[in-house]
Structure 1
């Protein structure tokens, strides 16, 4: 987890106002997280920190590609990710309750760790169903697998004998 230390911003020496930070998020970043959905990545994370007297407002823009597996042809392909998020951190010594949208920073703290936030934003941006963009027409798409899949689905449609019980229900619809 020491390699994630570079994804922190020491805010105590910063003047009030906006400050910009850039981070490269790659395979080494995600290897620090056990059971990560993302294994390979080439992402650029831009963070705009707006330091105010009582809080920090962090605006994240994460863009690039991650390695994904197509759910149809099972080949690896680059999935484009573009995430924009905002996080608020308040300076206080007391707990603010169960508000997940606001991070509390104690008066003795001097930096804010961003690695967990970046990991969460990228992981949530991964599509639930991942498929190649232009199915069958890209260099990374497995055309043999798609042909086998299409042949199997066509043969299943031909061999499928309709259940006679459905015929009675179809008559009710008319």
Structure 2
């Protein structure tokens, strides 16, 4: 694809030492990734610094800008500032292969490396798990987190008297289908 050629770095032509490359990451960039459900718009710059040595190429990806996200709470769109720095190493070897997330093997005659997929993955990894619109952050911190904690943890004394829910559940247990009781007995035997 012609678009991805703009994200090629011709490593075979590089001499040993440091080299910097800047890549724009705009809405057009995100359109080329089919699995893109999290981010479809953004305005970022990816600065890739390569340090070429005799046996490896060390690549540092410094990505800054903003992406458009959908708030998990209100479903409003908002611009989220994003800044991430990641490191990848390209080691020379007999064949091209991915050793792990941080180390790739390339041959000495590999003409170029494409960094588009790595830039995309680093952006996705930098997005927070809980996406909250800036207008709702303070409301959520004060109200929701305290309420969520009360639902999970009990900080007060437990009353000895049965509640209405306890009474209803005991009544429903009395009217249980005998087939379910037989299944429960099987479970207890294990």
Per the normalisation by structure 2, the TM-score is 0.69
- In structure 1, what is the Cα distance between the partners aligned to 2:77 and 2:98? 43
Stretches of structure 1 that go unaligned for 5 or more consecutive residues are 138-149, 154-161, 167-174
Question: Match of 1:22?
Answer: 22
**TM-aligned CA deviation for residue 105 of structure 1:** 0.7
Shift of 1:94: 4.2
How do 1:85-124 residues align onto structure 2 when only pairs under 5 Å count? 85-94=86-95, 98-124=99-125
Q: Deviations over 1:133-172 (max 9, x none)?
A: 23289xxxxxxxxxxxx9xx9xxxxxxxx74539xxxxxx
Segments of structure 2 that go 5 or more residues without pairing to the other structure are: 139-143, 148-162, 168-190
- Equivalent residues, number: 145
What's the CA shift for 1:110?
1.1
| CA deviations over 1:35-92 (Å, ceiling 9, x no partner) | 2021001001111100001110000110111010111221110011111000000111
The corresponding residue for 1:49 is: 50
- Corresponding residue number in structure 2 for 1:72: 73
Shift in Å at residue 127 of structure 1? 1.4
- TM-score, L = length of structure 1: 0.75
> CA, structure 1 residues 163+54, in 2 after alignment: closer, same or farther (shift >3 Å)?
farther
Bigger proportion of residues as helix:
2
Root mean square deviation, CA, Å: 2.6
